[in-house]
Structure 1
Amino acid sequence: MSLSPLLVAMGLTPLQRPTSNNLESDILTTMDRKLLDILCCPITKRPLQPLSTQELEALNRHIADGQARYLDDTVVDTPLDEGLITDNGSRIYRVDDGIPVMLEERSIPGTAAGRD
């Protein structure tokens, strides 16, 4: 079973793609708040929030330079359109086609987005 039907069965919807140039605002207004409220980092159990525009740009610069790695030490080779970051900035999770990829080995250290 794919994740989308499961989310719908739970009364939730996948994250939606932003519709304007204000990424941060769009994610917060189009994302199903229920989904964001229940998601947490599988490693730290910390709440998640959308990456800010500045964090997303910094992360994509690191990806373009070949400097971003997943937790499993493979190189992140595809830029992110959207992402979620733990509230303490330790981990980033990509959002592909509106669905968060919440796999531990596919998380990216928060330092790649300019977080300390």
Structure 2
Amino acid sequence: MDRKLLEILCCPVTRRPLLPLSKDKLKRLNALIADDRLQYADGSKIAGPLQEALITDNSTTVYRIEDGIPVMLEDESIRVQDLEGF
């Protein structure tokens, strides 16, 4: 992910800054996705594992990155504020 792009991106809902999701948290998130324990904000199923993602600086919302492009749609965000350790 380009550092300059990351500096100007923010959560479209809260305007909070975004940070790259750590490999450990990405692995944990993908395990929850595989177990069908997470869904997008609109209630739809997350089709498969995430390769990369961004998380708000207050660790409440995750946005996936597809082919190097952040998907900054509120309906396709993943709420993680209730997950312990996020």
The answer to whether the Cα contact below 8 Å between 1:58 and 1:114 also exists between their aligned partners in 2 is: no
> 1:15-30 alignment to 2 at 5 Å?
none
Alignment-derived partner of residue 61 in structure 2 = 91
**Higher strand fraction (1 or 2):** 2
Larger displacement relative to structure 2 (103-112 or 66-75): 103-112
Would you say how many aligned residue pairs link Structure 1 and Structure 2?
85
Partner of residue 67 from structure 1, selected from 20, 28, 37: 37
Look at both structures and tell me which one has the larger radius of gyration over its CA atoms.
1
Question: Following TM superposition, by how much is the alpha carbon of 1:78 offset from its aligned partner in structure 2, in angstroms?
Answer: 1.2
Alignment-derived partner of residue 33 in structure 1 = 3
**Higher helix fraction (1 or 2):** 1
- CA distance 1:92–1:65, change in 2 (3 Å): same
Alignment-derived partner of residue 51 in structure 1 = 21
List runs of 5+ in structure 1 lacking aligned partners. Answer: 1-30
Counterparts of 1:110 and 1:84 in 2: how far apart (Å)?
A: 12
List runs of 5+ in structure 2 lacking aligned partners. Answer: none
RMSD between aligned alpha carbons? 1.4
Give the TM-score taking structure 1 as reference length.
0.69
Q: Per the alignment, in what secondary structure is the counterpart of residue 34 of structure 1?
A: helix
**1:108 is aligned to 2:78:** yes
The answer to whether the Cα contact below 8 Å between 1:60 and 1:80 also exists between their aligned partners in 2 is: yes
Counterparts of 2:47 and 2:38 in 1: how far apart (Å)?
A: 8
Identity fraction in percent: 55
Partner of residue 12 from structure 2, selected from 42, 62, 66: 42
Counterparts of 1:114 and 1:98 in 2: how far apart (Å)?
A: 26
